[in-house]
Structure 1
Amino acid sequence: MRNFLLSCLTLLLLFHRSAAAQMYSTADPFAHTFSIVARDPATGEMAVAVQSHWFSVGTSVSWGEAGVGMVATQSFTNKSFGPRGLALLKSGKSAQQALDELLLNDEGRDVRQVAILDNQGRVATHTGKKCVDMAGHQQGNQFSVQANMMLNATVWPAMAKAYEQNARLPLAERVLAALDAAQAAGGDIRGRQSAALLVVRGTATEGPWADRLVDLRVEDHAAPLVELRRLLRLQRAYDHMNAGDLAVEKNDMPTAINEYQAAEKMFPQNLEMKYWHAITLANKQQVPAALALLRPIFKQEPNWRVLTQRLPKVGLLTVTDAELKQILAL
C-alpha cells in the first residue's frame, strides 16, 4: 500500500512539473509574495517594495528606472517582464499598454502576477486566475498593491489602507508601512525570508548612480522587514553625514555640526560617524571639540588612532604637528 501511494505521488509530481513547464522557465523563481509599486505625486519619486519567503526576492521581483517607471513581477515569475516592461514604458507606452503587450504572447499568463507603474502615476495590474490562493490586488491613487499565496485575503487591502493612511511619510517609509501592514495581516502563508526596497527619482539625471535614491535588499533573514527598516534608517543617517560634509565644503560649520549630530543620534554606537565628525572639527581649528569626540573612540578601538596617524600624508587631516601630537596622545 505504501509503495502504491508513493507511486501515485510521483506520478502527480511528474504531471504537475510537465504542466508547469509550459508556464515558466526553470531559470525563473517561484516568487510568491506581496509587493507595492507607488509614485509620490509631490516629488515624482517612484518605488517598488517587496517581501517573500524566497531567497533574494529583490533580484527577481523589483525593477525600476528613474523617469520611466517601476515593475513588480511575481508569482511564477517571468524576470524578463522587468527589463522588457521598462523598455516598453521608455518607448512611450502607458503602464496598461506595456502590461498588455507583455501578457499577449505569454503562455504562463494565468500564473503570473504583475504590476506596472509609469512616470505619470498610472498603474496596471494583472493577477492570473491560476495564482495560488489567497491572491489578489488593489489599485489606488498612483499605487498598486498585489499579493499571492497569502495566509488570507485581507493582506492586500491592509496594504492599501496603510499606504493611504501614511501620506505624510517620505515615499520609502510609506511603502514600508504597507509591507508591515501586509505582514501584520498574515502575510505569506509560508512565512518570511527576504525583502527589498527600491526608490528612484521621478526624472532621470546624470545616471543610475544618482537616480537610485534607495536601493536596499535583505537576502535572507528571520525578520526581513525589521532588518530592511534598520537599513533604511542607517541610510538616512549617512545622508545626514553626507549633508554635513557638503556643509563643511561650504564652510557652514553650524549646519555641518547639526547634520553630524543628527546622524550620530540615529546610530550612537557607530564610531565612524563620530570619528569623521571629529576629524572635520580638527580641520576647522576646533581641536578641543575634536579631542572630546576622539577620546572615547580611541579607547574603544585603538585602530582609529593608527588611522589618524596616516591621514596627514594624504591631506585628510590638516592640523599642526603639535596638534597631531596632542590628538595621538589621547
Structure 2
Amino acid sequence: MTFSLAARDPESGSFGMVVCSSSPAVASRCIHLRRGVGVVASQNVTNPGLGPAILDRLEQGLGSEDALSRTLQEEPFADYRQLSVVDDEGRTAHHSGENSLGINHWASADAAVAAGNLLASADTVDAMVEAYHADRGSSLEARLMAGLQAALAAGGEAGPVRSAGLKVIDDVSWATTDLRVDDADDPVAELLRLWSLWEPVKDDYRTRALNPDEAPGFGVAGDLR
C-alpha cells in the first residue's frame, strides 16, 4: 500500500525522500532523515521506530547494510517490514520481509533506493529510480517528485492513493523541505502544488533562521520589512 524513493544528493550531501500510499498520513510514519547521517524508509506493516534505530547505527559509524542487518536482528516481526536505507557515502540497503504485501519490489542505483508493496506492477518502482536519475540538473526535491510522478504513471499502487509526502534535509539540523498531504483524492497533484509554493521561498526561510538581518520580507502585516 506504499511506494517510496529515498536518496542522497552526491553534490550537496543532502538526503531526501518521497512517499505515497493508499493509507492516510503516510509521511508521518515512513520518512526518517538525519543530517550528515542518512535516510530510512519504513513501510509495509510499518514500525516507525525502526527508522531512528537504523539512523542511530549509521551515526555510530556502521554502513547501510550493517545498520539494517543489526536492527532487523532485534525486530521480532522482521517478516512484515519493508525498509530502505541510504547512508552518508551513498551506499544503499533494502529489506522486504516474506510478509510484504501483494506485488512488492525494490530497485537501487547511484545513492537512491525505491521500494513498494501492493503495487499495480514492479514497473512502479523501476520507473521511480529511472525518472529520478534522468532529471539530474534539478533540485533534489524536483528529482524526487519526478520519480513520484513516474511511479504513478507506471501504475502506482493496486488501488487509489490517498496521501503523500516530500522531505529533504540539507546542511542544517532541521528539514528544509517538509511537505505532507495526509488525505486527498489526488495527493500527488496536491503535493506538487505545495512544492510549487515552497520552492521559491525555501532559501528565504532558511535565511530567516540563520540570519534574520538579511531575511526578506513577505509582504504581510507586521513582517520584518
> What TM-score results when the alignment is normalised by the length of structure 1?
0.63
In the TM superposition, what whole-angstrom CA distance separates every residue of 1:258-285 from its partner, at most 9, and x where no partner exists? xx9xxxxxxxxxxxx5x45xxxxxxxxx
Q: Gaps (5+ residues) in structure 2?
A: none
Give yes or no for the alignment of 1:176 onto 2:139.
no
Give the aligned partner of residue 111 of structure 1: 80
Rounded to whole Å, the distance in 2 between the matches of 1:186 and 1:234 is: 27
Letter in 2 for 1:227: E
* Deviation of the 1:237 alpha carbon: 2.7
Query: Secondary structure of the residue that 2:48 maps to in structure 1?
Result: coil
User: Cα deviation per residue 1:129-174 (whole Å; 9 max; x = unaligned)?
Assistant: 2212210100100010101100112111111111111111100110
Q: SS of the counterpart of 1:215?
A: strand
Q: d(CA) in 2 for partners of 1:47 and 1:243?
A: 17
The offset of 1:195, in angstroms, is: 0.7
How far, CA to CA, are the matches of 1:243 and 1:71 in structure 2? 24
Aligned to 1:28: none
Superposed displacement of residue 224, structure 1? 0.8
Assess if the C-alpha contact under 8 Å between 2:176 and 2:206 holds in 1. Answer: no
Q: Residue 242 of structure 1: CA displacement?
A: 5.3
- Please point out which of 171, 190, 193 is paired with 1:227: 190
- Cα distance change, pair 220–120 in 1 and its aligned pair in 2 (3 A): same
Match of 2:108 among 139, 143, 163: 139
> 202, 205, 215: which one pairs with 2:178?
215
Q: In the TM superposition, what are the counterparts of 1:185-204 in structure 2 within 5 Å? A: 185-201=154-170, 203=171
Structure number having the greater strand percentage = 2
- Offset, 1:46: 0.7
Deviation at 1:107, TM superposition (A): 3.0
2:200 pairs with one of 227, 233, 237: 237
Select 1:69's aligned residue among 32, 38, 43: 38
The alignment's TM-score, normalised by the length of structure 2, stands at: 0.90
How many residues are treated as equivalent by the alignment? 224
Shift of 1:227: 1.0
- Tell me the equivalent position of 1:45: 14
SS of residue matched to 1:132? coil
Instruction: Kindly name which structure, 1 or 2, has the bigger radius of gyration based on alpha carbons.
Output: 1
**Bigger helix share:** 1
Contact 2:176 2:202 in 1 (8 A): no
> What corresponds to 1:86 in structure 2?
55
SS of 1:190's equivalent in the other structure is coil
Q: Deviations over 1:61-114 (max 9, x none)?
A: 111111111110100111110111111111111111111011113332222110
Partner of 1:60: helix, strand, or coil? helix
- SS at structure 1 position matched to 2:143: helix
Deviation at 1:240, TM superposition (A): 6.6
CA distance in 1, matches of 2:166, 2:199: 14
Deviation at 1:188, TM superposition (A): 1.3
Percent identity for Structure 1 against Structure 2: 31
Higher relative contact order (CA 8 A, sep 6+): 2
Q: Which moved more, 1:187-196 or 1:127-136?
A: 127-136
**2:38 is the counterpart of 1:59:** no
Where 1:213 maps in the other structure, the secondary structure is strand
